[in-house]
Amino acid sequence: MILEKERFGDTPSPVLGATAPKNPVSLHSIAGSCDIIEDNLPEEHMSLTLIDRFHPDLRQKQQAAIDAGHIRKLDELDLLDQQRLYSLARLSVLTLGIGTLFFAGLNIAAYYWQRHTLIPGITGWGFFIWLLLNCLSYVVILPLHEVIHGLAFAFWGGKPYYGARLPFVLYCSTKGQLFRRNQYLVVGLAPLVVITLAGIVFTLLAPALAAYTLFGTIGNFSGAAGDVWMALRLLRQPDSVLAEDTEVGYRLWEIQNSPELNSPDRNEQDAEL
């Protein structure tokens, strides 16, 4: 779950109609739209498994409803859409700029605070090693980012798997497994929060060493643009929706005809967690 694109359903939705906009859409309008897609193909929910280790009784009831076909698809996003990639690239450039200013600024400030000088003596070899280790840190942070997604999936009870779309896109996914909206939000934002916080602490404690991992922390910050975008879009949905990661984005589902099954908070016997 890195980036996303929106798939406009074959059947015109009440929101989009038959003439979905073909022009590049602004970030705001994409993040803000909540399109209902009615092409709920039967085979898509045949093998869906609801994941929620903290509400076993409610999970069982909802799984029965899913197995009975009482579920419909609300939305689907796919990162490979060219329109979406263009907008996401712009957001990535913005977060790259913000991340660079923030981490480089923090690094310089922390270095000055510890050593009382701004620039250490830099040789040609020193610069080469700095560049090499930074490139290495960037390469290492990519799988680490996905592993943190995976650990978060596993925390909720999911069974993540990993893959790559060569040459450089890695992913962690749980296709066929449904997570509650808020749990999926935690999964989506975990690498951004964990690695950014770790980077800040590392920079404050050891700014001289942290200068060699700048590309990694900045790259993670910038690369999480899709995760943030997805989170903003998800937040506009009710917390009762169920999210299925699809390697290239997500599908959102809603259990039908059973309002009491749609929120763990309404279920007293599960309320303690």
Task: Return residues touching Zn ion (CB under 5 A).
Answer: 2, 227
- Token pair 């962690």 is found at 172
Q: Tell me the closest approach of the beta carbon of residue 4 to Zn ion, in angstroms.
A: 11
CB of 159 to Zn ion, least distance (A): 18
Residue found by looking up tokens 């060699």 in the block: 212
63, 71 contact by CB (below 8 A) = no
Q: How many residues does the chain have?
A: 273
Pick between residue 111 and residue 179 the one whose CB is nearest to Zn ion. Answer: 179
Cis, peptide link before residue 259, omega less than 30° from 0: no
Q: How near is the Cβ of 187 to Zn ion at its closest, in Å?
A: 9
Q: Considering the complex, state which of residue 61 and residue 175 has its C-beta at the smaller distance from Zn ion.
A: 175
Task: Classify 187 in phi/psi space as left (phi over 0), alpha (psi -120 to 50) or beta.
Answer: alpha
Smallest gap, in angstroms, from Cβ of residue 242 to Zn ion?
20
Q: How far is the CB of 223 from Zn ion (least distance, A)?
A: 7
For residue 169, the minimal CB distance to Zn ion (Å) is 11
CB of 255 to Zn ion, least distance (A): 27
Residue sitting closest to Zn ion (CB): 227
Comparison of 62 and 137: residue with beta carbon closer to Zn ion: 137
- On whether the CB atoms of residues 40 and 72 are closer than 8 A, the answer is yes
Q: Of the two residues 66 and 218, which places its CB atom closer to Zn ion in the complex? A: 218
Q: Report in angstroms how near the CB of residue 126 gets to Zn ion at its nearest.
A: 33
Nearer residue to Zn ion within complex by CB, 79 or 106: 79
Which residue number, 227 or 245, has a Cβ lying nearer to Zn ion?
Answer: 227
Q: Which is nearer to Zn ion, 187 or 255 (CB)?
A: 187
Residue 2 and residue 226 in contact, taking contact as beta carbons nearer than 8 Å? yes
Place of tokens 């090499």: 132
Closest CA to 63 of 258, 265, 273, 266: 258
* Of 102 and 171, CB closest to Zn ion: 171
